[in-house]
Chains A and B, each alone.
Chain A
Amino acid sequence: EPEVTQTPSHQVTQMGQEVILRCVPISNHLYFYWYRQILGQKVEFLVSFYNNEISEKSEIFDDQFSVERPDGSNFTLKIRSTKLEDSAMYFCASSEVSGTDGGYPEAFFGQGTRLTVV
């Protein structure tokens, strides 16, 4: 069964350092997302990406964040200068363009990258 894969599974970084989280979405999917989940809290939307550009972003996704699709398969999230409060589980997700019920289709999530900023 196709799945979204993320690397690394765990990243520890020093405050102020740049990190790049990597994702390989499901191959025929065209919408890509990054979400994060701070320990004990709900899953929060960061950004969606379609047709090689940001489609929607949240207030969390400030100038410290950027996304890129450098080739036909990878989708990356970069945090330029990490802060302690960036420590969270980061989930990548992807979905098809249209769903079976005429609405938006389901999103499938990767296993996540646990980012710890020290």
Chain B
Amino acid sequence: RKEVEQDPGPFNVPEGATVAFNCTYSNSASQSFFWYRQDCRKEPKLLMSVYSSGNEDGRFTAQLNRASQYISLLIRDSKLSDSATYLCVVNVYNFNKFYFGSGTKLNVKP
């Protein structure tokens, strides 16, 4: 079973739309959770950490559900510049590595 699973998409949405991605993780000992974005042929860039109580950063809201072992990312008022692949990343406590999902591709169209 994969450590982190994501719907690969693509999600094709118009500008201004609200879009949500989910991610599930398999290891209940997972400790830290993140969303990264990756543009084509570029490095992953941290979008936001995901805290237990959920957190918001501008148009982006991240939620964590430990009981169901999933993480979500909500993007409101989508911009063309939001087009990218969104990577769900999980770090298991005491293991010095980050597990990456395969990413969800978002295309925001005018």
Contact of A48 among B42, B97, B100 (CB under 8 A): B97
Q: Which residue of A lies closest to B95 (CB)?
A: A56
- Please count how many residues in chain A sit with their CB below 8 Å of the partner chain's CB atoms: 29
Q: A93–B87 Cα gap in the complex (Å)? A: 15
- Whether the Cβ atoms of B32 and A108 lie closer than 8 Å is no
Q: Is B41 an interface residue (CB 8 A)?
A: yes
Q: A100–B46 Cα gap in the complex (Å)? A: 15
Complex interface: chain A residues within 8 A of B101 (CB): 42
Q: A55–B46 Cα gap in the complex (Å)? A: 23
Q: Which residue of A lies closest to B36 (CB)?
A: A109
- Whether the Cβ atoms of A109 and B44 lie closer than 8 Å is yes
Question: A111 CB to closest chain B CB, in angstroms?
Answer: 5
Complex interface: chain B residues within 8 A of A68 (CB): none
Question: B102 CB to closest chain A CB, in angstroms?
Answer: 4
**Contacts A42-B102, A42-B103, A112-B43; A103 near B96 (Cβ below 8 A):** no
Q: Which of B31, B43, B101 has the most chain A CB atoms inside 10 A of its CB?
A: B43
Contact of B46 among A42, A44, A106 (CB under 8 A): A106
- Whether the Cβ atoms of A103 and B42 lie closer than 8 Å is no
- Whether the Cβ atoms of B43 and A109 lie closer than 8 Å is yes
Interface string of B23-39 (1 = CB under 8 A from A): 00000000110100010
Q: Is A101 an interface residue (CB 8 A)?
A: yes
Query: What residues of chain B have their CB less than 8 Å away from a CB belonging to chain A?
Result: 31-32, 34, 38, 41-46, 49, 51-52, 87, 89, 91, 93, 95-103
